[in-house]
Amino acid sequence: MKLSPSEGMKIRNIQLITETESKVATAHVVAIQRMLLKGIIPGQGLAFSAGYKSDASDIFEIGGTAHSSQHDIVHLGFEWIDSEFRLTEISLYIRQGRGILHIPNCRLYSASKADPAILVPPSGTSGTFTLAADQIIQRSEVPEHIHDGVNLANRWLDSLVNEARLP
């Protein structure tokens, strides 16, 4: 079922999400958690969040939440495109001493469905990111054939989300 973004209601600058948006976001969080952790249950120190695509105030809010809760956060951002609520952003919020490192616009990468997926940041950011049960870990390795691995990860994500039988 395709719905319009106007189904959400804006109350005092808080955007309430619709049931469809919630189902789409939940299916993506579950699928991406499954891809990145391969059965490991997130523990204290790691969290996933989802909502509308981030703007500047959201970045500070999510970063503040990561700092105050002492959790690294994988945030999924969505927006309405062609009457569909679509994942358009994966951002990382990583605890660094007394601050937070924000890495926007990451892409899922997978060389094989047998191995956990990793997160590839935009060019200009070194390395890649993997997840442990309690944190996001930056690695210095950069995979070869990034385009192929991103395409495989996107197909894998689509298949997992479709298993959720969304409207």
Which parts of the chain register pLDDT below 70?
1-16, 124, 165-167
How confident is the model at residue 16, as a pLDDT? Answer: 66
pLDDT tens per residue across span 14-58: 566 789 899 999 999 999 999 999 989 888 999 999 999 988 888
Region for residue 52 given its phi and psi (left: phi exceeds 0; alpha: psi -120 to 50; beta: otherwise): beta
Strand positions, DSSP E, 61-163: 72-81, 84-96, 99-103, 107-109, 118-120, 128-132, 135-139
- Please report the pLDDT score of residue 11 as a whole number: 35
pLDDT at 7: 39
Looking at residue 128, what is its pLDDT?
Answer: 96
In whole angstroms, give the CA distance from residue 57 to residue 51: 13
Residue 97 is predicted with a pLDDT of 87
